[in-house]
A = this chain, B = another copy of it.
Amino acid sequence: MILPSDRFFDSDPAIRSLARELYQQVKDLPIISPHGHIEAKILAENQPFPDPTALFILPDHYIYRLLYSQGIPLESLGISTLDGTSVETDHRKIWQIFADNYYLFAGTPTSLWLAYEFSEVFGVTEKLNSANAMAIYDHLQNQLQKPEFRPRALYERFNIEVLTSTDGATDSLKYHRQIKESGWKGRIIPCFRPDALFNLNAAGWHREIEKLGDVVGYEINTYVRFIDAIENRREFYKTMGAVSTDQGVESAYTHRLSAREAEEIFQRARNGKASAEDARLFTANMLMEMARMSVADGLVMQIHVGALRNHNLRNFRRFGPDTGADIPVRSEFTVNLSELLNEYGTDSRLTLVVFTLDESTYSRELAPLAGYYPAMKLGAAWWFHDSIQGMIHFREMVTETAGFYNTVGFTDDTRSFPSIPARHDLCRRVDSNFLAGLVARHIIDLDEAHVLIRALTYDLAKKTYKL
Contacts and interface: CB of A to CB of B under 8 A. Distances in A.
Nearest to A445: B127
A345 B312 contact: yes
A92 interface: no
A364 B314 contact: no
A10 B440 CA distance: 8
B327 A313 contact: no
Interface residues of A, number: 92
A442 B6 contact: yes
Contact of A334 (B10, B15, B311, B448): B311
Contacts of A71: 348, 374
A70 interface: yes
B312 A368 contact: no
Given A112-B443, A365-B327, A374 B312 contact: no
Contacts of A56: none
A254 to B, nearest CB: 13
A444 B328 contact: no
A386 to B, nearest CB: 9
A452 B396 contact: no
A404 to B, nearest CB: 6
B327 A403 contact: no
A218 interface: no
Interface string A359-375: 11001110111111110
A105 interface: yes
A184 interface: no
A312 B344 CA distance: 11
Given A11-B441, A109-B400, A368 B346 contact: no
Interface in A331-379: 332, 334-335, 338, 341-342, 345-346, 348, 357-360, 363-365, 367-374, 376
A405 B335 CA distance: 35
Nearest to A452: B106
A307 B345 CA distance: 19
B403 A108 contact: yes
Given A4-B442, A327-B365, A438-B107, A312 B400 contact: no
Contact of A401 (B70, B108, B308): B108
A325 interface: yes
Nearest to A15: B11
A8 B384 contact: no
A308 to B, nearest CB: 6
Contacts of A451: 103
Contacts of A368: 327-328, 384
Contacts of A111: 444
Contacts of A107: 399-400, 403-404, 438, 443-444, 452
A221 interface: no
A104 B451 CA distance: 12
A462 interface: no
A145 interface: no
Contacts of A30: none
B334 A332 contact: no
B397 A389 contact: yes
9 contacts: A7-B442, A106-B444, A111-B444, A312-B373, A313-B342, A314-B346, A327-B368, A368-B384, A390-B400
Given A359-B397, A388-B443, 15 more contacts: A7-B441, A8-B442, A11-B437, A68-B372, A69-B406, A70-B374, A103-B448, A106-B448, A107-B404, A108-B399, A112-B443, A314-B346, A360-B360, A384-B401, A389-B397
What are the 8 tightest A-B residue pairs by CB atom distance, in nearest-first order?
A7-B442, A11-B440, A387-B400, A11-B14, A4-B442, A360-B360, A107-B399, A71-B374
